[in-house]
Structure 1
Amino acid sequence: MDTEQWRARIRALAAELTGDDGPAADGPAAAREAAVDAARSLGRLADALDAGEGDGGGAAAAGRPAPVEVVVPVLGVDGCKAGWVGALLEPGAPRPRIVVAPTIGELVAMVRESTGIAVVGIDIPIGLPDSTIRQADRLARRALPGKSSSIFSTLTRSAYAAPTRLEADAVNRGLVGQGVGAQAFALRDKIVEVDAWLRTRPTVTVLEVHPELSFATMTGSPILVGKKTDEGRDERLAALAAAGIARPSVLKGQGYAADDVLDACAVAWSAVRHTTGLARPLPDPPEVFSDGIPAAIWA
């Protein structure tokens, strides 16, 4: 068996460990966490095999990871006017399949009716702090020079419980000394929605992913041009193509725009990396607050 075959076999095993049919899928939390740790170790082994080829060129030399190989289905999700738009990546499928639903629960359930997805990545804060600023947000801003403004500080859980921005501002200032920006509060309903869904304990691995961090990881540096411009769209499409994600057959539709779809594709890319043990969390290990939900941004 040559190096390429070993690498593919290792990544496939890593994906099986974290899939719906994996040995720990229906087991206790400790078993699922151990399976994820094992998958990450296998991913590092595959990375070492990549490095061992020593050609000094290609994607790695340019600061870009090698194109991903989808070995189990994953779903990348971004918020949109219609609710949520998802990019479904499946083994052997030529392009991401785009799906839309009004709620996160409906979106995931709709996909799982026909596809056994292993990981759901979502562009939304997951794991809400009690009285601190999340390390995930601080570290992600630090990792995005020139694009750090795309990462806002997640509010405290108590602030999200407040019905108005004015009340949330007072609560958050009292707990962490920071006010509440319009963008942070505008996402309140979606953040609360995902938090409530996670508390139903969905039987699938769910990750927080930020598309700009994913794009920066796949290209080696942040994409500075705005995502809503033609240039920004084309640059992100090129980055996805180089990373192994083909252009979606649909880029926009009723209630979702091209930037929503491309963000969902970038999130799906990070979800694929998680299945093969390549994704890394910020922070590592994730923080855990009183809600018990690991808080980290994966890329």
Structure 2
Amino acid sequence: MTGASAAAGAMFIGLDGFRRGWVAVAIDGDERAISFPAEISTALADPFVRAAIDIPIGMTDDGGRACDRLAREALAPHRSRVFTGARRWLWEEFTDPDHANAEAARRGQPRASRQLWHLGRKIMEVDMFVRAHRGLDIREVHPELVFLRLHGAPLPSKKTEQGARVRRDLLVAAGFEAIDDWLTRARRGTGAKPDDVLDACAVALAARDCAGCVPEGEPPRDGHEVAMQIWF
């Protein structure tokens, strides 16, 4: 990892996916570190206290989750920033999105968007890891909920110059002094985009702080007893 030792003792890790792998941001006391591992197993190979991931964790057969609905309500009017409809059977049974969506229609379920479909490999990678490592504290986090908590109001799109700048400033205030280096030199050649780095930092903050969640209290669980709860 760039900026700190990955083997440190009180590690909190935030992960955001990108095409070639994962942006992994670690917080250990006052130290911050970033790396770009190809696989989730590599990102979480060293001991950690808690890890948080910007990916659906826990899925229902019809794709409906209370945590998604509540997150969308919290982010209004930007509800579309929360992807919905992840279902294991989409990727377990199909390799073609059109065939998968034809089956969804037959079952009376919503279609999977192309964005959701292309997240499938990452979603299933995390699903298998979480189910195989139930003793680890691994939670789902949505970075937009974290930024909303830090800012206190809805933010402009992260794809805009203003939106990226506000998120960067919030992270600097939260202790990410090397963020400008991470957004430029450290990221160069990895394939990760600037907003992937910003999101991973926000997710790492939630891993350390766990300031709130939707739904509150004991989370609902899916058919594999995986919790369905989004933290921020």
- What TM-score does the superposition give when structure 1 sets the normalisation length? 0.68
Question: Structure 1 residue 136: deviation in Å?
Answer: 1.0
Contact 1:245 1:269 in 2 (8 A): no
Distance of 2:108 and 2:60 partners within structure 1: 10
CA–CA separation in structure 2 for the residues paired with 1:82 and 1:289: 29
- Offset of residue 168 of structure 1: 1.8
1:105 aligns with 2:41: yes
Encode CA deviations 1:169-226: one digit per residue, 9 max, x unaligned: 13333445311111111101110111111122164210101111111111112212x2
Partner residue in 2 for 1:263: 199
Which residue number in structure 1 is paired with residue 173 of structure 2? 242
Asked whether the equivalents of residues 62 and 85 of structure 2 are also in contact (C-alpha less than 8 Å), the reply is no
For each residue in 1:225-253, what CA deviation from the matched residue of structure 2 results, as whole angstroms up to 9, or x when unmatched? x2233322211011123334434342122
Tell me, yes or no, if the aligned pair for 1:119 and 1:205 is still in contact at 8 Å. yes
Give the gaps of 5 or more residues in structure 2. 1-8
The match for 2:162 among 214, 218, 231 is 231
Aligned partners of 2:12 and 2:145: how far apart in 1? 18
**Whole-Å separation in 1 of the counterparts to 2:74 and 2:108:** 23
Q: Is there any run of 5+ residues in structure 1 with no aligned partner, and where?
A: 1-70
Equivalents in 1 of 2:86, 2:11: separation in Å? 32
Question: 2-side partners of 1:255 and 1:76: how far apart?
Answer: 18
The 10-residue stretch of structure 1 (122-131 or 193-202) with the greater mean CA deviation from structure 2 = 193-202
What is the SS of the residue equivalent to 1:256?
coil
Q: SS state of the match for residue 25, structure 2?
A: strand
Query: Which residue number corresponds to residue 24 of structure 1?
Result: none
Change in 2 beyond 3 A, CA 1:208/1:177: same
In proportion to residue count, which structure has more helix? 1
Does residue 1:280 correspond to 2:212, yes or no?
Answer: yes
TM-score (norm 2): 0.86
- Native 8 Å contact 2:63 2:84 kept in 1: no
Q: Indicate how the Cα distance of structure 1 residues 108 and 153 shifts in structure 2: closer, same or farther if over 3 A, else same.
A: same
Q: What is the DSSP-based 3-state SS (H/G/I as helix, E as strand, rest coil) of the residue aligned with 2:223? A: coil
Q: Deviations over 1:145-179 (max 9, x none)?
A: 13211112132222232221112213333445311
Tell me the amino acid that sits aligned with residue 97 of structure 1: A
User: The residue matched to 1:286 in structure 2 has which SS?
Assistant: coil
Contact kept in structure 2, 1:128 and 1:295, CA below 8 Å? yes
Length, aligned pairs only: 217
The structure with more radius of gyration: 1
Identity among equivalent pairs (%): 34
SS in 2 for 1:288: coil
**How far apart are 1:100 and its partner, in Å?**
1.0
